[in-house]
């Protein structure tokens, strides 16, 4: 019998839970299907998550690349600079100086040989009179020139004649001619060899002249020597140039640029091209006659500049090589560019990889959401079904309530038989196992207040059975004994519910309190687990029912079970209640309401009419319950006899 | 015998029947919709358990703040089993613990006590 009720409660609970789920998930909007906008909300979450991962990972990898790239850059830069200064510049300078030294030394050797030729000295001292030797001399000179690829010259101090291999006797030295000054300077210098350079800008020629005093340096016969075209050295300089921002200079002791790879600079002043302090250092260091290369680094408007210089071993001239660091470290730019290109390529690849990976990672997530949506749809469909069933069940219950109420006595009967009364009838689940039954008889009336086992529909079904049995038992004309009614009810109910089967799984019955009033002031009471409370002028009395229920397997009522007979005084009030009211939990400790409290209310309400008392009992109970749910069906009946 | 242990729920009491210590505990409220369904395993356990306890001590301790009618009937079945066992020589002792301020508990315990002959002590706490 409890099965239907269980189901009903389960359905109510399930629906409640699901409604809550719906409210949570949808923000209170009940719609059967998920809207499109809600889908895109999920997609946004996915895209946002994916993008976060991509951006974060890209950021980390770019940082890693930049850090490695820049540390590589720094290391390469340092080692390149070091190599440049310690090795490359020194190597370049040494190569050039060795070459220049070799050329000059060879020219000096050649000059010494030809200048100290005794035949020529003798011919010069004789005043070039021997025409025969002259022819031989000219032949020898042109031969030498051809052999060494030099310009060979001889100048006689006595005659001032200037002989060269190409033009033979071309000039006569004159002290007034400034172009001849080199000759007189050489004679006067008293040095065996002096070097002289001249530039011919039109011809783009730079010639080194080795002026050698012929014979005795103190009294030379003249000045002889060779002229070397240094243009090829100048060309050689070009080979050592790295980029546009480098310069190679051969500078004489006075700071004049003798040779430069740039013809425009030849003959110019070195100080025009260098900061003052660097220029001073070059001049002072080279004056100390050391031939070690010296490196100077400085910054000018074009950036960092490395400069190396070294005095030549063949003469006092200084070779200076200057180069802008941006040229030497040009390779670093390519490192930088390649790093940037790597970053770009890695980024593109990363985006591609992350897009693929994240779309694959996101897929299970997406399908989980999809599944969730499907479940939600299913739930809402089921909820709709359940709600539908719920409505049907509720309708059915309300109809059952109408039926149950229809068998309960109406107010017309109450008013006819009694002076005043109230009925508090509150089934827990719309219908219930509590009932009251009132029947007018010839001598008076009989009132039954009962509580069948179970609540809701099973309880209500029991009340219907009990109702019909009571209608059978009580015959209007009879004098009625409540104890006999109970005994008969017990018998018939056990019979009706097959109690002799001894099957424990169905053992149902009821508790009841029965009052029979016989006119002329006598009231008979018998109860099965229900008591009668009587409030008279000076006291409250309680008449206990027996401790056995009616209709249960073990229920037996012996012949000793008898009515309680009461003499009714005017103003006496009678109360019957089922355990629903007495057992209802509430209050501070969540205890049951209790009989004492019930009896207190009887005392407290003695001045009220029965009708007013009904409202009072109800509000007392409501206050006591507070938030606690109703435990059981509740019935309280109070009455006053005419 | 296996120990019978049931957690307390909203409408059923905590149950701990310990066959080794011979201590049986019931504590809480009992008003399930189908009381017999809940108590059936308890009754079966007890039947089997008590059968082998002749001459031995069995202690039962009950605290019930509320029982509905059908639960009361099931409790009665349990007590009937104990009474039967006591008649057959099991030394049964029952301690029924009531809150001294809860009239309902005390009345309930007193009603039960009237029906049984084995030692039945009502303890007010």
pLDDT digits (tens, 9 = 90+) for B79-107: 999 999 999 999 999 999 999 888 889 98
Residue in B closest to A451 by C-alpha: B69
Q: Does the pTM of the predicted model rise above 0.90?
A: no
CA distance A107 to A84: 33
Q: In chain A, where are the structural domains located? A: 2-75+333-401, 92-329, 408-641
Cβ pair B103:A595 closer than 8 A: yes
Torsion of CA B84, B104, A586, A15, to 10 degrees: 30
Nearest to B11 by CA among B59, B96, B68: B68
Q: Do A589 and B114 touch (CB under 8 A)?
A: no
Whether A591 and B69 lie within 8 Å, measured CB to CB = no
Contact call for A504 and B36, based on CB within 8 A = yes
Q: What spatial distance separates the first Cα and last Cα of chain A, rounded to whole Å?
A: 41
Chain B residues whose beta carbon lies within 8 Å of the beta carbon of residue A454: 70
Q: State pLDDT tens for residues A114-158.
A: 888 888 888 888 888 878 888 888 887 788 778 777 888 888 888
CA distances from A361 to A50, A355, A373 (A): 9, 10, 19
Q: A634: exposed, middle or buried (C-beta count within 10 Å: 0-12, 13-18, 19+)? A: buried
Helix (H) or strand (E) holding A443: none
Reduce the DSSP state of residue A494 to 3 states and report it: helix
Residues in A touching B101 (Cβ below 8 Å): 589, 591
Choose, out of A5, A586, A631, A634, the residue to mutate when testing the contact with B (most B CBs < 10 Å): A631
Interchain CB contact of A301 with B (< 8 Å): no
Q: Do B102 and A5 touch (CB under 8 A)?
A: no
Residue of A nearest to B115 (CA): A547
A265-276 average pLDDT score: 82
- Give the nearest chain A residue to B112 (CA atoms): A547
Asked if A453's CB is within 8 angstroms of B70's CB, the reply is yes
Is A2 near chain B, with CB under 8 Å? yes
Give the number of other CB atoms < 10 A from CB of residue A344.
Answer: 11
Candidate CATH numbers 3.30.750, 3.30.499, 3.40.1000, 3.40.1350; the one for domain B4-124: 3.30.750
Phi-psi region of A146 (alpha: psi -120 to 50; beta: other; left: phi over 0): alpha
Task: Note the pLDDT of residue A515.
Answer: 96
Query: A20 pLDDT exceeds 70?
Result: no
Residue A582 and residue B66: Cβ atoms within 8 Å? no
Asked whether the domain spanning A408-641 has the same topology as the one spanning A92-329, the reply is no
Q: Is B22 left (phi over 0), alpha (psi -120 to 50) or beta?
A: left
Structure confidence at residue A524 (pLDDT):
96
- The average confidence (pLDDT) of chain A is 82
- The whole-angstrom separation of Cα B59 and Cα B80 is 15
Identify the DSSP state of A218: S
How far the first Cα of chain B sits from its last, in Å, is: 32
Neighbours of A287 (CB within 10 A): 12
Query: How far from A530 is each of A44, A165, A171, A511, A568, CA to CA, in Å?
Result: 68, 160, 164, 6, 20
- Beta strands (DSSP E) in A335-469 are 418-426, 434-440, 444-452
Give the range among A475-479, A588-592, B43-47, B79-83 with minimum mean pLDDT: A475-479
Contact call for residues A603 and A540 (beta carbons, < 8 A): yes
Q: What is the CATH number of domain A92-329?
A: 3.30.450.20
Averaged pLDDT, A25-43: 48
Residue A556 pLDDT > 60: yes
What is the C-alpha to C-alpha distance for residues A359 and A355, in angstroms, rounded to an integer? Answer: 6
Q: What whole-number distance in Å separates Cα of residue A605 and Cα of residue A233?
A: 137
How many CB pairs (< 8 A) connect A and B?
53
Is the confidence at residue A425, as pLDDT, over 90? yes
Instruction: Kindly provide the b/e burial profile for residues B18-49, where b requires at least 16 CB atoms within 10 angstroms of the residue's own CB.
Output: ebeebebbbebbbbbbbbbebbeebbebbeeb
**Nearby residues of A531 by Cβ (< 8 Å), 6 or more positions away:** A513, A542, A543, A544, A545, A576, A577, A595
Compare all CA atoms of chain A with the CA of B101 and give the residue at the minimum distance: A591
Mutate to test the interface with A, among B28, B29, B30, B33 (most CBs of A within 10 A): B33
Question: A632 and B104: CB-CB below 8 Å?
Answer: no
B114 contacts on A by Cβ (under 8 Å): 547
Residues from chain A that touch B107, judged by Cβ atoms under 8 A, are: 595
Beta-carbon separation of B66 and A579 below 8 A: no
Structure tokens at A71: 């540390």
Q: Give the neighbor-by-neighbor strand order of the sheet with A418-426.
A: A418-426, A634-641, A573-577, A532-535, A540-543
ipTM of this predicted complex? 0.80
CA dist A596 to A242, A542, A543, Å? 117, 11, 14
Instruction: Tell me the fold of A408-641.
Output: Phosphatase 2c; domain 1 (3.60.40)
Determine whether the interchain pair A583/B104 forms a contact, defined as Cβ–Cβ distance below 8 Å.
Answer: yes
Q: What is the pLDDT of residues A348-377, one digit of tens each?
A: 887 788 777 766 666 677 778 888 999 999
A511 touches chain B (CB under 8 A): yes
């Amino acid at each position: 019998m409890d099965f239907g009720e269980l189901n009903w409660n389960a359905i109510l609970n399930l629906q409640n839970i699901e409604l809550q789920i719906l409210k949570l998930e949808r923000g209170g909007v009940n719609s059967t299907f998920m809207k499109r906008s809600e889908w895109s909300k999920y997609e946004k979450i996915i895209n946002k998550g994916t993008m976060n991962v991509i951006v974060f990972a890209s950021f980390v990898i770019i940082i890693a690349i930049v850090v490695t790239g820049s540390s590589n850059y720094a290391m390469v830069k340092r080692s390149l600079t070091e190599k440049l200064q310690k090795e490359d510049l020194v190597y370049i300078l040494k190569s050039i100086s060795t070459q220049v030294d070799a050329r000059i030394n060879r020219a000096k050797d050649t000059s010494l040989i030809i200048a100290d030729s005794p035949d020529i000295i003798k011919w010069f001292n004789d005043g070039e009179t021997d025409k025969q030797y002259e022819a031989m001399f000219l032949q020898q000179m042109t031969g030498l020139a051809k052999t060494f690829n030099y310009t060979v010259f001889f100048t006689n101090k006595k005659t001032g004649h200037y002989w060269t291999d190409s033009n033979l006797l071309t000039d006569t030295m004159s002290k007034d001619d400034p172009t001849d000054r080199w000759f007189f300077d050489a004679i006067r210098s008293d040095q065996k060899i002096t070097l002289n350079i001249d530039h011919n800008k039109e011809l783009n020629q730079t010639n080194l002249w080795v002026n050698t005093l012929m014979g005795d340096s103190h009294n030379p016969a003249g000045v002889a020597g060779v002229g070397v075209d240094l243009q090829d050295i100048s060309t050689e300089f070009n080979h050592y140039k790295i980029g546009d921002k480098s310069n190679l200079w051969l500078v004489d002791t006075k700071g004049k640029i003798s040779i430069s790879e740039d013809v425009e600079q030849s003959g110019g002043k070195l100080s025009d091209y260098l900061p003052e302090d660097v220029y001073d250092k070059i001049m002072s260091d080279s004056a100390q006659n050391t031939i070690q290369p010296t490196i100077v680094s400085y910054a000018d408007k074009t950036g960092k500049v490395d400069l190396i210089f070294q005095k030549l071993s063949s003469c006092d001239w200084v070779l200076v090589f200057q180069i802008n660091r941006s040229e030497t470290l040009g390779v670093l730019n390519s490192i930088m560019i390649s790093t940037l290109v790597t970053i770009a390529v890695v980024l593109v690849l990363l985006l591609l990889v992350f897009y693929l990976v994240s779309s694959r990672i996101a897929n299970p997530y997406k399908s989980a959401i999809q599944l969730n949506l499907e479940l939600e749809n299913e739930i809402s469909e089921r909820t709709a079904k359940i709600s539908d069933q719920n409505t049907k069940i509720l309708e059915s219950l309300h109809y059952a309530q109408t039926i149950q109420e229809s068998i309960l006595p109406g107010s017309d009967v109450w008013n006819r038989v009694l002076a005043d009364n109230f009925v508090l009838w509150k089934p827990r689940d719309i219908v219930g196992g509590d009932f009251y039954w009132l029947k007018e008889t010839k001598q008076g009336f009989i009132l039954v207040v009962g509580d069948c086992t179970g609540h809701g529909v099973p309880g209500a079904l029991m009340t219907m059975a009990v109702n019909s049995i009571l209608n059978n038992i009580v015959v209007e004309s009879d004098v009625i004994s409540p104890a006999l009614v109970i005994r008969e009810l017990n018998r018939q109910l056990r019979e009706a519910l097959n109690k002799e089967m001894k099957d424990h799984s169905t053992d149902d019955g009821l508790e009841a309190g029965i009052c029979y009033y016989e006119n002329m002031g006598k009231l008979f009471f018998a109860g099965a687990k229900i008591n009668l409370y009587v409030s008279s002028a000076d006291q409250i009395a309680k008449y206990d029912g027996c401790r056995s229920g009616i209709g249960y397997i073990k229920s037996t009522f012996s012949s000793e079970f008898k009515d309680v007979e009461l003499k009714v005084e005017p103003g006496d009030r009678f109360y019957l209640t089922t355990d629903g009211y007495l057992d209802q939990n509430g209050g501070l400790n969540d205890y049951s309401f209790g009989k004492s409290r019930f009896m207190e209310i009887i005392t407290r309400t003695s001045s009220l009419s029965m009708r007013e008392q009904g409202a009072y009992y109800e509000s007392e109970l409501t206050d006591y319950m507070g938030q606690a749910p109703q435990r059981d069906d509740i019935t309280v009946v109070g009455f006053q006899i005419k | 015998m296996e120990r019978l242990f049931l957690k307390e729920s909203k409408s059923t009491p905590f149950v701990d029947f310990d066959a080794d210590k011979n201590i049986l505990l019931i504590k809480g409220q009992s008003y399930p919709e189908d009381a017999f369904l809940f108590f059936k395993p308890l009754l079966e356990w007890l039947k089997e358990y008590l059968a082998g306890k002749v001459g031995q001590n069995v202690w039962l301790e009950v605290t019930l703040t509320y029982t509905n009618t059908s639960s009361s009937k099931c409790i009665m079945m349990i007590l009937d089993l104990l009474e039967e066992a006591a008649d057959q020589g099991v030394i049964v002792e029952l301690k029924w613990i009531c809150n001294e301020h809860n009239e309902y508990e005390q009345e309930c315990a007193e009603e039960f006590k009237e029906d049984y002959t084995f030692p039945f002590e009502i303890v007010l706490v």
